Amino acid sequence: MSTPNYRRTRFACFFAYLAMASIFVLPAMLFTTFRQMYGISFTLLGTLIVVNFCTQMIIDLIFTFFSKYFNIRATVRIMPLLTCVGLLIYSIVPSIFPEYAYLGLIIGTVIFSVAAGLCEVLLSPLIASIPSEHPDKDMSLLHSLYGWGVVSVVLISSLYFFFVGTQNWLYLTLFWALLPLIASFLFWISPIPEMNIGSSEKGAKVSGRAKGIFLCALCIFLGSAAENTMTNWISGYMEIGLAIPKEVGDILGLAVFALLLAMTRVLYAKFTPDISKTLLVSMIGAIVCYLVAGLSPSIILAFTACIGMGIFTSMLWPGTLILMEEKIPMPGVAAYALMAACGDCGASVAPQLMGIIVDNVSVSSFAANLSQTAGLSPEEIGLRVGMLIAALFPVMGMAVMLYIRRFYAKKKAA
């Protein structure tokens, strides 16, 4: 029997990951439009973000414990269709039935968030299951496409809104809904390799694997927290904390951050340095960037530190998956689902914690007193304190990586 050619399968994974970026970036770009056109409050719009991440975490946890009950091949092929259906409902219901606009946004968000959760759970183990001479390169390239996708969505959508207007957002959303259709077609005409559901090892090996997976899950939680705190707050911090115009903050801030993130993942795929050392250096670099962003009186230095986080946080999520594959052969879909759940938890908890810190510090007597001597508003002080506290995530991540390196060095010597 001839060996299947998985080249098209690999391309389908890459394209699906690229297409998925729209559901994370486009809604945030439309929040002001939704408020103006449909009168939806910012509180309700913020709830859409919570629904997005909570839905993804539920999918992650379902696959962590019940992955053996799913037809993996069929799920992979249906996954992009759910993205398309979610975007269609998200765009068409508010446009045709404006009185039910928020209901349409909620339903659409739930559906494409299910697809996003499946994407996180299945695409990484699928790439890892495809025979390859350089699986770590494939994993890094896969995750780099999210960054390229973010840059593409920001630039194309910004140009569309400039020339066509935000009132015609429906047609732009329909365009982004076409991309997952292409991804689904590619999966249907491509062979899907067997994916390991879970480990069949017993005894001491299970205990060692479980500890290794737990350490990797903790690492991806802290890495995702470090990355997504900056991703979610970079625009607001540049606008309020550094007094940089919003347009400049969005394009030169978020877009360049995503570009550096994508480029760093591509460079890793090209040179493939030692992954544990890469993760350790990344954590240290993230600590420095957060400290400079929070403490530096220079706007240029603080700005550079914010976008520089794109370099140092780029490998924290995919790199942990590569580390797990390297240290724990054939970890299984359930392990990848657990990693995705921990990553999503970090992505939702950390930015929310940052918001709580900023709100509380801004109204404190500490900020009021310091603002009189530092020449900063209480809100600016709150944002800077938030950046300093956010540095704790990579600090803890550095400690975890040092322990992981020591743990596997002892295991290798035994």
- Return the number of other C-beta atoms located less than 10 Å from residue 353's C-beta: 17
Enumerate helices (H) and strands (E) in the chain, giving the number of each.
17, 0
pLDDT at position 402 is 95
Q: Are 226 and 313 in contact (CB under 8 A)?
A: yes
Domain ranges of the chain: 1-195, 199-414
Kindly give, in sequence order, each residue whose CB lies less than 8 Å from that of residue 32, ignoring residues fewer than 6 positions away: 166
**What is the third-level CATH fold of 199-414?**
Growth Hormone; Chain: A; (1.20.1250)
> Tokens at residue 361, please?
């510090």
Claim: this prediction has a pTM higher than 0.85 = no
The dihedral through the CA atoms of 324, 325, 328, 334 has a sign that is positive
Predicted confidence at residue 40, as pLDDT, reads 85
**Per-residue model confidence (pLDDT) at position 222:** 96
Q: Same CATH fold, 199-414 and 1-195?
A: yes
How confident is the model at residue 99, as a pLDDT?
92
- 């999503």: which residue's tokens? 344
Fold entry, domain 1-195: Growth Hormone; Chain: A; (1.20.1250)
pLDDT of the residue at 204: 45
The helix or strand, by DSSP H or E, that contains position 34, with its residue range, turns out to be helix 22-38
CB 313 within 8 A of CB 147: no
Q: Give the residue from 292, 327, 1 showing the smallest Cα distance to 136.
A: 327
Residues in the chain with pLDDT < 50? Answer: 1, 200-204
